């Protein structure tokens, strides 16, 4: 994703629209406005903006001149945040984008926890954290590639929807963290 695309996408409502189209499939401005609690004209404007930047496309052969159906574009947009760290014009849009992505992830997890799932689905889901790893940058990158490969393997095997299949969201956040020095080793405390 380049800076121009980032600026076009980095708006909370546009990101929510794109998320709904990616997760639930095609919809109209009217349908999206109902789901989002927004004005149809506002949603239509944002849909056109997303289409101008190739994030979504009109679904041909569906709807009428007054009712256009939109779907997420079949292309993948990857964002490497390091590409924008030295661009002062991209800092604001990057901040909005990252904030909205984190909010979307949080709301998906909170929604899952609040919903009443049958035991087999409730027990199959997992929210996990491993915080005892110590890795090099190369090892962290390799871990991320391996997890992505596993997800791709399952995506390829998922095939056509079946009665026992449900849409599944896989979220993974993996990043380094600053290491705190144990209290007794800190050098910034005043001497007594």
What's the chain's average pLDDT?
Answer: 88
Between CA 173 and CA 76 the distance in angstroms is 19
Average pLDDT over residues 161-184: 81
Between CA 40 and CA 30 the distance in angstroms is 6
The answer to whether 55 and 72 have CB atoms below 8 angstroms apart is yes
Which of 65, 88, 115 finishes a domain? 115
**How many CA atoms, within 13 angstroms, populate the side-chain half-sphere of residue 26?**
14
Same structural domain for residues 106 and 154? Answer: no
- What residue numbers bound the domain in which 170 lies? 126-178
Same structural domain for residues 15 and 66? Answer: yes
Same structural domain for residues 98 and 131? Answer: no
Between CA 94 and CA 100 the distance in angstroms is 10
| pLDDT value of residue 134 | 94
Same structural domain for residues 103 and 143? Answer: no
Q: What is the pLDDT of residues 143-157, one digit of tens each?
A: 999 999 999 999 888
Same structural domain for residues 67 and 152? Answer: no
Q: What is the pLDDT of residues 91-100, one digit of tens each?
A: 889 999 999 9
Same structural domain for residues 47 and 66? Answer: yes
Tell me, yes or no, whether 148 lies in a domain.
Answer: yes
Same structural domain for residues 102 and 77? Answer: yes
| Burial class of residue 44 (count of CB atoms within 10 Å of its CB; 0-12, 13-18, 19+) | middle
Tell me, yes or no, whether 192 lies in a domain.
Answer: no
Average pLDDT over residues 29-53: 96
Which of 60, 95, 115 finishes a domain? 115
DSSP state of 37: T
* pLDDT value at 103 more than 50: yes
Tell me, yes or no, whether 191 lies in a domain.
Answer: no
Residue 9's domain is classified under what CATH number?
A: 1.10.10.10
Same structural domain for residues 78 and 156? Answer: no
The answer to whether 89 and 68 have CB atoms below 8 angstroms apart is no
- Beta-carbon contacts of 71 under 8 Å, excluding residues fewer than 6 positions away, are 21, 25, 26, 56, 57, 58, 59
Task: Note every long-range contact of 118-123, with CB atoms under 8 Å and residues 24 or more positions apart, other chains counting.
Answer: 121/166
Q: What is the crossing angle of helices 88-114 and 12-24, to 10°?
A: 50
Same structural domain for residues 110 and 23? Answer: yes
Encoding tokens for residue 136?
Answer: 């090099």
Same structural domain for residues 135 and 156? Answer: yes
Same structural domain for residues 45 and 88? Answer: yes
Query: In total, how many domains does the chain have?
Result: 2
Same structural domain for residues 7 and 81? Answer: yes
pTM over 0.85: no
């Amino acid at each position: 994703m380049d800076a121009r695309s980032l600026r076009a996408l980095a708006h909370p409502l546009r990101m929510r629209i794109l998320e709904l189209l990616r997760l639930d499939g095609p919809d109209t401005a009217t349908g999206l406005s109902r789901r989002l609690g927004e004005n149809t004209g506002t949603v239509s404007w944002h849909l056109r903006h997303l289409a101008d930047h190739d994030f979504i496309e009109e679904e041909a052969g569906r709807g009428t001149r007054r009712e256009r159906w939109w779907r997420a574009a079949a292309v993948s947009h990857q964002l490497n945040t390091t590409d924008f760290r030295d661009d002062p014009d991209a800092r604001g849009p990057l901040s909005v984008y990252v904030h909205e992505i984190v909010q979307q992830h949080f709301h998906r997890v909170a929604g899952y926890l609040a919903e009443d799932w049958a035991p087999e689905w409730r027990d199959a889901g997992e929210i996990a954290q491993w915080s005892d790893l110590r890795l090099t940058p190369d090892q962290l990158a390799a871990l991320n590639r391996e997890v992505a490969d596993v997800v791709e393997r399952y995506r390829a095997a998922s095939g056509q929807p079946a009665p026992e299949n449900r849409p599944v969201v896989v979220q993974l956040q993996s990043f380094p963290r600053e290491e705190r020095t144990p209290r007794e080793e800190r050098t910034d405390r005043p001497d007594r």
